[in-house]
Amino acid sequence: MDLTVTDLSIARGGIPVLGHVSLTLRSGCALVLRGPNGIGKTTLLRTIAGLQPPLSGTIGLPSEDVAYAGHADGIKSTLSVTENLRFWARIFGTGDIAPALAAMDLAALAERPAHSLSAGQKRRLGLARLLVTGRRFWLLDEPTVSLDAASVALFARAVRTHLSNGGATLMATHIDLGIAEAEVLDLTPFRAAPSAAAPGGFDEAFA
């Protein structure tokens, strides 16, 4: 089954940001969301991930098949790298964490408490989490923030492997991951017309 988004309109903090977005993401494919700061890339990913409702339109996807990696890494700081991954493997009902440790070059850091990792190492752990979910559709918001060139290359390889195993990725990123088959969707033409904020609308508890 594909991930389909049809005629979706979305808001953030009560203010419409994007209107009438449609896209399809098929197995084995990567789609990159582009557009200027504030256009609504994060809001679109959050909506597709089910973290907020759309204003209108439909999202057709098997929600149990989606893994979302947002700006926060979702790491438990008092647990070690291994314990973090085992925790997520249990949540998602998967088993072996060794391939995820290897893919994101975390084996040497396996017993380190997560709070002692550098920003880039934490990001690698957050991305390794995707690998233990066993989920087919990865929704990724700026996945390469804090990563050095070698780690970006590791991540790009993990994405390519995921695609070749029938997975798919929808990601917002400003950098070129060198994934030849990736398509690009520029959200600029879907910017919502300016309108008044909904009553009480600006701030959101869930930023």
The residue ranges that bind ligand ATP (CB under 6 A) are 12-13, 17, 35, 37-43, 172, 202-204, 207
- Shortest separation between residue 202's beta carbon and ligand ATP, angstroms: 6
Separation CA 113–CA 99 (nearest Å) = 20
Among 118, 164, 124, smallest CA distance to 143 is for 124
Residue nearest to ligand ATP (CB): 13
- Shortest separation between residue 52's beta carbon and ligand ATP, angstroms: 10
Q: Which residue has the tokens 């910017």?
A: 191
State the angle between helix axes of 119-133 and 149-164 in degrees (0 to 180), rounded to the nearest 10.
Answer: 10
- Shortest separation between residue 123's beta carbon and ligand ATP, angstroms: 16
Give CA separation, 10 vs 18, 34, 145, 198, in Å.
5, 16, 25, 13
- Shortest separation between residue 15's beta carbon and ligand ATP, angstroms: 7
Q: Which lies closer to ligand ATP via its Cβ, residue 42 or residue 169? A: 42
Q: Which lies closer to ligand ATP via its Cβ, residue 1 or residue 198? A: 198
> Hey, CA dihedral for 75, 85, 120, 71, is it positive or negative?
negative
- Shortest separation between residue 148's beta carbon and ligand ATP, angstroms: 21
In whole angstroms, how large is the CA radius of gyration of the chain?
A: 17
Separation CA 95–CA 113 (nearest Å) = 21
- Shortest separation between residue 16's beta carbon and ligand ATP, angstroms: 10
Contact 100, 132 (CB under 8 A): yes
Q: Which lies closer to ligand ATP via its Cβ, residue 38 or residue 53? A: 38
- Calculate the dihedral angle through the C-alpha atoms of 192, 51, 178, 23, rounding to the nearest 10 degrees: -50
Q: Which lies closer to ligand ATP via its Cβ, residue 81 or residue 139? A: 139
Q: Which lies closer to ligand ATP via its Cβ, residue 149 or residue 206? A: 206
Q: Which lies closer to ligand ATP via its Cβ, residue 166 or residue 202? A: 202
